[in-house]
Amino acid sequence: MLVLGIETTCDETAAAVVERSGDGQGRILSNIVLSQVSEHAAFGGVVPEIAARAHVEALDRIIGKAMAEAGKSFSEIDGVAAAAGPGLIGGVIVGLTTAKAIALVNDKPLIAINHLEAHALTARLTASTQFPYCLFLASGGHTQILAVRGVGDYSLLGTTLDDAIGEAFDKTAKLLGLGYPGGPQVEKEALRGNATRFTLPRPMHGRPEPQFSLSGLKTALRLDAEAIAPLSDQDVADLCASFQQAVVEVIHDRLRAGMKMFRARHGAPTALVAAGGVAANEAVRKILQRVAFEHGIKLVVPPGELCTDNGAMIAWAGAERLALGLTDPLDFAPRARWPLEDIAGPKTKPGMMDA
């Protein structure tokens, strides 16, 4: 089974061709990603209108390159998958409309993909991870702990009450005058900083429900920075190190609560899976490894290029759904918001118990 995947929910224009064999193994034939970082850097964040226009200008070329690299024609693919949300609605419209056109002209099924489901299923592409597993999804727009029980079968265990972790990193970078994207800049500065210099809060620490909150931590950092302004280079490094350490400890505590809830509701997970750009942070990866070790399970983190937004994860999610006979009509509407719990999965046969 060959599926073309298209991703345009934020500031990456991406397309890929992925193959899924009959036994469920996956292989990436091409994965082309065009970043718009340079176009948004001057604004310190993604500008939706600029992102949408950039997708329009680049998407045809990116799809053509993905098809050429895979050595496939549209007649050879079995389906066209596109991220239909959640995301910046202008970009989502560009990608989904393009996918509809390709599907219509070539008489191929359309698979409208939830961007979060694509992140959730990537571990099955890279490591053949079996259900059920615990997913820690952390990016600029999302921070969630989920039980992944099957395709279209997700249980939200915890989420953020305000900022996502990646968003908090980006806002910290902006506050301290660092470049965009902020996450990698904060991590770089933290390497030469003193993580014990500033006493920052660990929001939600010790609470039984695995929720996150980053706004109080962000405010505390701003107040500490203002108290010692103007900031020296070492001040910036120490603030970054203290902030990153606080986030790492919050993740550790919140994931422990999430794993406890997972076991109580769904039994033992097969693995702890991390997805989203935050998973590329080395300090975060170390604490994820510790959590997995504490619970006697393996940690699965896809390669960095598959943790951030890409077309291969969309294509793979499309292949997983297509293998179950799940397709979508050509009038499927793009969605700025689309909770994972609202995704349709295979229909349960009469008399079957929920797994």
Q: Which of 276, 273, 272 is nearest to 306 (CA)?
A: 276
**Rounded Cα gap, residues 37 and 309, in angstroms:** 13
DSSP state of 11: S
This prediction's pTM: 0.92
pLDDT digits (tens, 9 = 90+) for 180-192: 788 999 999 999 9
Compute the CA torsion angle 57, 62, 65, 70 (nearest 10 deg): -160
Tell me how far apart the alpha carbons of residues 326 and 73 are, in angstroms, rounded to a whole number. 23
Encoded amino acid at 137, one letter:
L
pLDDT for the residue 141: 83
**Which residue type, as a one-letter code, is found at position 313?**
M
CA distances from 338 to 92, 113, 122, 268 (A): 12, 10, 19, 28
What are φ and ψ of residue 339, in 5° steps? -60, 145
271 pLDDT above the threshold of 80: yes
Which has the minimum average pLDDT: 75-84, 174-183, 213-222? 174-183
**pLDDT > 70: what percent of the chain?**
97
The amino acid sitting at 9 is: T
Query: What domains, with CATH codes, occur in the chain?
Result: 2-124+306-342 (3.30.420.40), 131-304 (3.30.420.40)
Q: Residue 90 above 80 pLDDT?
A: yes
Counting residues of the chain whose pLDDT is more than 90, the rounded percentage is 85
Q: How confident is the model at residue 295 (pLDDT cuts 50, 70, 90)?
A: very high
pLDDT, tens digit, for every residue of 297-322? 999 999 989 988 999 999 999 999 99
Which tens digits make up the pLDDT trace of 114-170?
999 999 999 999 999 999 999 999 987 889 999 999 999 999 999 999 999 999 999
What pLDDT shows up at residue 138? 92
Cβ-in-10-Å burial (0-12, 13-18, 19+) of 50 comes to middle
- The overall average pLDDT reported for the chain is 93
Q: Is the pLDDT of residue 355 over 70?
A: no
Q: What is the pLDDT of residue 352?
A: 35
Between CA 58 and CA 207 the distance in angstroms is 46
Residue with tokens 């400890």: 249
